[in-house]
């Protein structure tokens, strides 16, 4: 799951620092674990893919 860091924190499992506004990827279980300690993350909803339709041909007048 993709998240956005709201409040900077150190990951207790690998000691890596995650700064404000950076992307953070984790499982739903890990997200819940981090959120139980404080309001550190926001979920990021995936953007829907937009299909581009071919342009319509114009008839000559």
- Domain residue spans of the chain: 2-43
The reported pLDDT for the residue numbered 3 is: 93
The reported pLDDT for the residue numbered 50 is: 79
Each of the 61 residues of the chain gets a pLDDT tens digit; together they read 899 999 999 999 999 999 999 999 999 999 999 999 999 999 988 777 877 777 777 776 6
The reported pLDDT for the residue numbered 20 is: 94
Q: Rounded to whole angstroms, what are the CA distances from 5 to 18, 41, 57?
A: 7, 5, 47
Whether 46 and 1 have beta carbons less than 8 Å apart is answered as: no
The reported pLDDT for the residue numbered 43 is: 92
- Bin 31: left if φ > 0, else alpha if -120 < ψ < 50, else beta: alpha
């Amino acid at each position: 799951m993709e998240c956005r860091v709201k409040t900077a924190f150190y990951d207790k499992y690998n000691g890596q620092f995650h700064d404000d506004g950076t992307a953070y990827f984790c499982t739903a279980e890990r997200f819940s674990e981090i959120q139980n300690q404080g309001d550190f993350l926001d979920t990021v909803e995936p953007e829907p893919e937009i299909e581009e339709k071919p342009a319509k041909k114009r008839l000559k007048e």
